[in-house]
Amino acid sequence: MSIMESMGKKPRRPRRSFTPEFKAEIVGLCRRGDRSVGQVAKDFELTETAVRD
C-alpha cells in the first residue's frame, strides 16, 4: 500500500497533452448541446474542469 493510499488520497494521474484537433472536437461536442459537459468529460475520461477550461 502506498503512502497516498494509506492517507485516503487518490494518486494523481499523469498530466496528458491533447492535440488541437482533439480539443476542437471536445468543444464542438459541448457546443452542439447533445450531451452535457459532464457527459462529454465522462465519455472521454476527462475531468469536467478540463473540458470547461
Judge whether 42 lies within some domain: yes
Number of domains present in the structure of the chain: 1
Q: Tens digit of pLDDT for each residue in 4-52?
A: 566 677 788 788 899 999 999 999 999 998 999 999 999 999 999 999 9
Domain that holds residue 37: 18-53
Number of alpha helices (DSSP H) and beta strands (DSSP E) in the chain: 4, 0
What cell numbers appear for 14 in the block? 499523469
- The answer to whether residues 29 and 40 touch, using CB atoms and an 8 Å cutoff, is yes
Joined together, the cell numbers standing for residue 27 give 468543444
- Is 10 a member of any domain? no
Residue 8 CB coordination number (10 Å): 6
pTM for the predicted model, two decimal places: 0.69
